[in-house]
Amino acid sequence: MLCCCKELIYILTEQTNVYYQQHLARQARPSHRLPDITLADTMTFIALALQMGRTLNDTLHDYWSRLRQLHNQFYSETMTHDRFLHVLCFLHFADNSQRHDEGEEYDRLWKLWTIFDKLNEAYAKFYNPSKHLAVVEVTVKLKGRVIFRQYILKKRKFQHQN
């Protein structure tokens, strides 16, 4: 599984840099060019994003706030706010120039298939469920907009508790 994780982080890093280069090429006069994102930057970004799920703040800026009541030096010592936003802004899973024509059977999730395939390979290689396995399906209320959502009238909804 570790090999799969390294491969995924490499793909994220490479595609994020490709997307940033494409962004610079689209600009008539690019402003200052930032250094490419490294594997360490990607791993740090993922670690910070996971930690943000545990220490909930109102805004993204609050994680780097210097206000005494909000200050948590972990974030500012780990990665600068600007670098985090740069990775967040250009985070990509696939090269946009490899996009299929919409005339063909268009898959809205085409950018994620490389990641899905790598994860499926790893799961098949490292996870061997027993015969006695139960799968429980849960529906979670979502207020966001997702194009491929389903509405099941009589299905009970799980309410997430904060």
Residue-wise pLDDT for 23-56, tens only, equals 988 887 767 788 999 999 999 999 999 999 898 8
Asked if residues 90 and 20 have their Cβ atoms less than 8 Å apart, the reply is yes
In a domain, 144, yes or no: no
Q: Is the pLDDT of residue 79 over 70?
A: yes
In a domain, 110, yes or no: yes
In a domain, 149, yes or no: no
Q: How confident is the model at residue 52, as a pLDDT?
A: 92
The residue with greater pLDDT, 133 or 82, is: 82
The residue with greater pLDDT, 160 or 113, is: 113
Q: How confident is the model at residue 111, as a pLDDT?
A: 86
Overall number of domains in the chain: 1
Nearest to 13 by CA among 95, 93, 81: 93
In a domain, 96, yes or no: yes
| Percent residues over pLDDT 90 in the chain | 35
The owner of tokens 């899973």 is 93
Q: Is the pLDDT of residue 9 over 70?
A: yes
In a domain, 24, yes or no: yes
The phi, psi pair for 53, rounded to 5°, reads -70, -20
In angstroms, rounded to a whole number, what is the distance separating the alpha carbons of residues 27 and 31? 9
Q: What is the pLDDT of residues 87-127, one digit of tens each?
A: 999 999 988 888 766 666 667 788 888 888 888 888 888 88
CA atoms within 13 A on the CB side of 91: 15
- What is the chain's alpha carbon radius of gyration, rounded to the nearest angstrom? 20
In a domain, 156, yes or no: no
Question: What is the domain range of residue 77?
Answer: 2-126
pTM of the model: 0.73
Q: How confident is the model at residue 101, as a pLDDT?
A: 67
The owner of tokens 């139960």 is 134
The tokens for 135 are: 């799968």
Q: How confident is the model at residue 119, as a pLDDT?
A: 87
Q: How confident is the model at residue 30, as a pLDDT?
A: 67
In a domain, 139, yes or no: no
Asked if residues 96 and 19 have their Cβ atoms less than 8 Å apart, the reply is yes
In a domain, 150, yes or no: no
